[in-house]
Amino acid sequence: MSKLATTVNGLALPNPFVIGSGPPGTNANVIGKAYDEGWGAVICKTISLDASKVVNVQPRYGRLRSRTSKEIYGWENIELISDRGFDVWIDEFKQLKDKYPDRILIASVMEEYREDAWYEIIEKCQDVGVDAFELNLSCPHGLPERRMGSAMGENPEIAGEVCGWAMKAAKVPVWAKMTPNVTHIEDPSRASLAAGCDGLSAINTIRSVIGVDLETLRPEPTIEGYTTPGGYSCQAVKPIALRMCMEIANLISAEFPGRTLSGIGGVETGEDAAEFILLGSDTVQVCTGVMKAGYSCVREMCDQLEAFMDKHSFDNISDFKGHSLQFFTTHADLVQRQADARAKKKAEKDGKCVRADEEWRGDDFVDQSEALSGN
């Protein structure tokens, strides 16, 4: 068995790399491509019961580049959830499970604040064989007027209620996708887990404005001269995502042992994935990275992650999941630790300083000489 193989909430994945909900999972054709290239699992682009309300604009992406290399490190999107009919998705779910019966297919679902709608979408999707669900409670733009997306995830009470509805209907694992656009991500996370969710995904994109065109004086991306804030992703969000995943992982460890976490945010290499796993993630999701590099990037990421594991003699993902969480503490504790270390070092140096000729020792001669040196 591959060192990268892992089982999460009973789902057997060949590796921890998951296609995150978005354009890379926008139809059966591209989902099949992801399986063929070796991705561990695929989460489809978020679907709803009524796609008629979903109308996208062009352009809908804005990118931030390095001033020197021109490499893309920030990406904003104002793209909505899937504009394809629900019945089309149901047919494609069937096709995918027939063709790839052993691969993991996760349905990302979003609905209005109505219990019957969540029951319906969960029941119809699981009837055609999807392996799990991801509840999109976190899209920072699009349809907030219908109390969808982050309008739910920013309110722990609503998030918990919606997760409870989903859990009543679901017979397969359910993850709730968290929004970073909150003060304390533990609050909606705790509410979602308390409602019974098997795991969490974090983070969704950060509400943003990518920039302003200094020639036209219009914010970007510009549609007929106007825009709207969108969701920020890519390498630049990784430090924020790592911090929030660390906080969620500590919450899970303390209050909900056994629940899982799928880390998201700027993953483009196997080393990126290792960082998320070290901070408590069971899997990692990639979306913008695929839009930049294509589906085949998973091969190199798998090689890089396995090389990291070989370097540290880790035989499987569980060997190092959460390993680095133990090294977080309070600032007050950091101050005390540093003071203790300095005191110990001074004591050791003082102990090596000779004050009389009779104190010189042959075995410690070099150290004693060093202790007496001023530079």
Distance CA 114, CA 283 (A): 30
CB 7 within 8 A of CB 33: no
- Helices assigned H by DSSP within the chain: 28-37, 86-99, 115-127, 150-153, 156-169, 186-194, 238-255, 270-278, 288-293, 297-311, 331-352, 365-371
**Catalytic residue at 287?**
no
Residue 270, phi then psi, degrees to nearest 5: -65, -30
CA atoms within 13 A on the CB side of 131: 22
Helix (H) or strand (E) holding 12: strand 11-13
DSSP3 helix / strand / coil % (the chain, rounded to 5): 45, 15, 40
DSSP 57-84: -SS-EEEEE-TTT--EEEEEE---S--S
Active-site option among 44, 139, 197, 302: 139
User: Looking at the chain, how many residues does it have?
Assistant: 375
Distance CA 29, CA 88 (A): 13
Sign of the CA dihedral running 324, 257, 133, 58: negative
SS3 for 104? strand
CB 93 within 8 A of CB 135: no
CB 174 within 8 A of CB 165: no
Helix (H) or strand (E) holding 8: strand 6-8
CB 302 within 8 A of CB 15: yes
Tokens in use for 56?
């996208």
Distance CA 126, CA 142 (A): 26
Question: What is the set of active-site residues?
Answer: 139
